[in-house]
């Protein structure tokens, strides 16, 4: 009974240990994927925001870019720390398991040695035959024969156990060396990342100090930029409402602008398909970083000034082509005085908006397909910035594009 309980306890311990190892292994994979993603993001930041040294960016843009880079760098350091800490726990667990295996091997080898000595002393076939013939009856002889077979099998099993545990010990030792090397690599990467972060924070500190000398002037620039964005967004909202009203009027329902489109069966199917792809839509540019996120947020220059973004602002490369993120129809081409044009594409009762374009390759009424090139992003020749404004609406209500675009 005690042996049975001991076996159950050992099996349960092994099962829980296996669960813990699998859980840690999965967590390690997730952290490594996150670390790679953040490293790729920093590479893109360097390429898209910091590569063009010839162009003189405004201090406001420099602070915004550095803010972004610093936040990603801090996240990378945290994830790398988490990886190193998890590896430390795995190394400790492996070291404990190695110690346990060595103890088990020691006991197994001692038992096996005793069995070999006993087998050597009674090694002759004659002694086995005498052991059988000295039985009092056939039943005892049969039992003795079974004992001899079981003893031989037990010897073989013990030998196999020693072999298996020796192999497992060798594998764990190799795994331990690999884990220690991985941890050393992570620690070194983090040391480099922290040094770079310190340099970036010093640069950021110097820029902020120069801004504070004339904060009111910079705050005015930000407010003016926001007013211009609000003017464009107001016109886009008007055009979307106008398009809804026109469509509903044709459908014989002129009083339904507030509730959105009166959808045909075809438009309903398109909208349902668009909804089904939420979180899986492609980016509107091949390479890009979200420099300004959706919604109201304090300015990184002056936290008393609020930035309101109806979509996202994506920093991309010069000459970047704009792609439709889904099948649809070009509802409007937005042209405003002293502003770069925009495109509004309808997907049932959803809209995607593409702002700050230099060239447009479609016209109102055109049917477009997913990833079709519809225009090019405008590049500011003074500071080298190439920023695409991108939005998603359901009827006339704005939505967060990050919820729709894959890994935004």
pLDDT value at residue 237: 96
Tell me the pTM.
0.72
**pLDDT at residue 12 in the model:** 53
Choice between 164 and 1, residue whose per-residue pLDDT is larger: 164
The predicted structure's pLDDT at residue 211: 87
- Residue 385 pLDDT more than 70? yes
Tokens standing for residue 352: 């995607």
Q: DSSP letter at 140?
A: H
Give SS3 for 171: helix
Segment 370-397 shows an average pLDDT of 95
| Six-digit token string for 407 | 């890994």
- For 86, the token pair is 């998890």
Residue 151 has pLDDT above 70, yes or no: no
What is the predicted pLDDT for the residue at 10? 47
Residues in Cβ contact with 157 at an 8 Å cutoff, skipping those fewer than 6 apart: none
Between 35-44, 87-96, 292-301, 302-311, the lowest mean confidence (pLDDT) is in: 87-96
CA atoms within 13 A on the CB side of 295: 6
pLDDT category at 114 given cuts 50, 70, 90 is low
- 276 HSE (CA, 13 A, CB side): 8
| Cβ atoms 365, 330 nearer than 8 A | yes
3-state helix, strand, coil in the chain (%, to 5): 60, 15, 25
C-alpha–C-alpha distance, residues 277 and 267, integer Å = 15
pLDDT for 160 beyond 80: no
Same fold, 12-212 and 215-403: no
Q: What Rg, from alpha-carbon coordinates, does the chain have?
A: 35
Distance of CA 237 to the CA centre of its chain: 33
Class of the CATH-defined domain 12-212: mainly alpha
To the nearest 10 degrees (0 to 180), the angle between helices 2-49 and 59-121 is 150
Residue 268, pLDDT score: 94
Kindly report, residue by residue over 169-194, the tens digit of the pLDDT.
Answer: 677 777 778 888 888 999 999 999 99
Tens-digit pLDDT profile for residues 336-356: 999 999 999 999 999 999 999
CA dihedral sign, ordered 228, 230, 233, 234: negative
Among residues 383, 400, 322, the alpha carbon closest in space to that of 355 is found at 322
In the structure, what pLDDT confidence band is assigned to residue 223 with cuts at 50, 70 and 90? very high
Parse the chain into domains and list their residue ranges: 12-212, 215-403
The CATH code belonging to domain 215-403 is 2.70.70.10
H or E element: which one contains 334?
A: strand 328-334
- Give the DSSP letter string of 91-126: HHHHHHHHHHHHHHHHHHHHHHHHHHHHHHHT-SHH
Predicted confidence band of residue 155 (pLDDT cuts 50, 70, 90): low
Chain-centroid distance, C-alpha 138: 73
Chain centroid offset of residue 295 CA: 23
Inter-residue contact 106 to 222 (CB < 8 Å): no
């Amino acid at each position: 009974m005690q042996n049975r309980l001991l076996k159950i306890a050992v099996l349960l311990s092994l099962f829980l240990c296996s669960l813990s190892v699998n859980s840690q292994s999965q967590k390690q994979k997730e952290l490594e994927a996150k670390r790679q993603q953040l490293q790729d993001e920093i590479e893109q930041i360097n390429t898209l925001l910091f590569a063009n040294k010839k162009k003189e960016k405004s201090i406001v843009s420099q602070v915004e870019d550095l803010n972004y880079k610093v936040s990603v760098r801090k996240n990378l350091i945290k994830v790398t720390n988490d990886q190193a800490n998890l590896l430390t726990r795995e190394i400790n667990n492996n070291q404990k398991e190695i110690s346990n295996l060595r103890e088990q091997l020691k006991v197994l080898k001692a038992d096996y040695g005793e069995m070999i000595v006993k087998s050597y002393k009674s090694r002759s076939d004659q002694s086995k035959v005498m052991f059988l013939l000295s039985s009092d009856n056939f039943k005892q002889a049969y039992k003795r024969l079974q004992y001899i077979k079981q003893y031989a099998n037990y010897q073989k099993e013990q030998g196999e156990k020693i072999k298996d545990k020796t192999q497992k010990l060798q594998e764990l030792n190799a795994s331990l060396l690999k884990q220690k090397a991985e941890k050393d690599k992570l620690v070194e990467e983090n040391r480099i990342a922290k040094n770079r972060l310190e340099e970036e924070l010093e640069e950021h500190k110097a820029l902020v100090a120069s801004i504070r000398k004339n904060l009111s002037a910079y705050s005015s620039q930000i407010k003016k930029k926001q007013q211009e964005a609000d003017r464009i967004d107001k016109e886009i909202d008007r055009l979307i409402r106008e398009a809804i009203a026109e469509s509903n009027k044709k459908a014989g329902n002129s009083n339904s602008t507030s509730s959105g489109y009166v959808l045909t069966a075809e438009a309903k199917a398109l909208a349902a398909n668009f909804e089904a792809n939420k979180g899986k839509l492609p980016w509107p540019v091949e390479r890009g970083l979200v420099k300004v996120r959706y919604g109201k947020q304090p300015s990184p220059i002056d936290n008393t000034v609020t930035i309101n973004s109806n979509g996202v602002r994506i920093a991309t490369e010069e000459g970047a082509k704009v792609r439709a993120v889904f099948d649809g129809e070009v509802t409007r081409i937005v042209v405003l005085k002293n502003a770069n044009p925009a495109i509004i594409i309808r997907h049932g009762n959803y809209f995607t908006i593409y702002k700050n374009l230099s060239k447009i390759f479609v016209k109102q009424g055109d049917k477009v397909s997913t990833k079709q090139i519809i225009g090019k992003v405008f590049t500011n020749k003074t500071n080298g910035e190439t920023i695409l404004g991108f939005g998603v609406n359901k009827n006339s209500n704005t939505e967060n594009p990050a919820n729709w675009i894959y890994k935004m």
